[in-house]
Amino acid sequence: MSRRGWMLFVLMGVLWGIPYLMIKVAVEGVSVPMVVFARTALGAAVLLPLAIRGGQFDVVRRHWRPLLAFTAVEILGPWALLSDAENRLTSSMTGLLIAAVPIVGVVLARLTGDAERLGPARWAGLLVGLAGVGVLAAPHLGGGSAWAVGEVMLVVLGYSIAPMIAMKRLQDVPSLHLAAYALAIAALVYTGPAIYTWPESMPSGQVLAALIGLGLVCTALAFIVFFELIREVGTSRGMVFTYVNPAVAVAAGVVFLSEPLTGTIMASFLLILGGSVLATVRRTSTPAQAAAPVDDASADAQDARA
């Protein structure tokens, strides 16, 4: 990997590892709809002009139904659930639970017949990763914390379904357009709830900074860097940064919010991340498969996430 590739890789690990910290700060000062609206509106304000300049509106219009479905399971539901869950969960725990997305994705692909046959290593990865989720969630399965854990698990499910929609129904839509129009739709949907729950007084500077950071840094800038990373190193190598995000989320929570770094968190981190790597490892390809061309555009659409 080139020096530029490594810089983009590290930057992505940070950009999509710190949203949990910023969400935790934001929900202490404004409502959940306000958090989602601010993030989507700011992200759309940056990305939508770039998408419009690139044209291809007819392509987007022809795929409006799967685009709506993708937006619902990737942004509309998950970002609200995630923000609400962080009213009761630490940012580090939330980030670790989200790390189960690759595991659930493998299970769903297997159930729908879209995955290759699972070997012993991948089955072991599924079991190890799920054990890590159990270790992390078990102490919180009571009262409001149980509800919050359930919300995060619904987010994991949505994040696992969205790439399947993108891969099957949105392959013709460029990644930038997919992200920009999905954010714009979500911003429109949350405009009403945001106005209804508008804060009576000006939020603190810390909360405002978190909202701006979520929209401009963790969404708009993150997507731009993501597209550059994929162009530089390819999809398969580029997406490895998703294994770095939970570590960043835990570190940010400990350093900036003084969240505890317990043995349970460390054990679950190792189990979930190790299980994710094993569960998503690809079988060694045959020479013929290795020589086959890869459709990076389709893979880009599958992997785009805010």
On the question of pLDDT at 206 being above 90, the answer is yes
Q: How large is the average pLDDT for residues 171-182?
A: 92
Distance of alpha carbon 49 from the chain centroid: 23
pLDDT single digits (tens) 38-57: 999 999 999 999 999 988 89
DSSP secondary structure of 35-100: HHHHHHHHHHHHHHHHHHHT--HHHHHHTHHHHHHHHIIIIIHHHHHHHHHTTTS-HHHHHHHHTT
pLDDT at 56: 87
Give pTM, 2 decimals: 0.83
Alpha helical stretches, state H, 143-216: 143-169, 175-196, 205-212
Residue 286 banded pLDDT, cuts 50, 70, 90: very low
pLDDT single digits (tens) 178-187: 999 999 999 9
Least confident window among 34-38, 85-89, 291-295: 291-295
pLDDT at 48: 95
Q: Give the integer Cα–Cα distance in Å for 290 and 54.
A: 33
pLDDT at 103: 80
* Cα first-last separation, the chain: 24
Q: Give the integer Cα–Cα distance in Å for 116 and 196.
A: 47
pLDDT at 50: 93
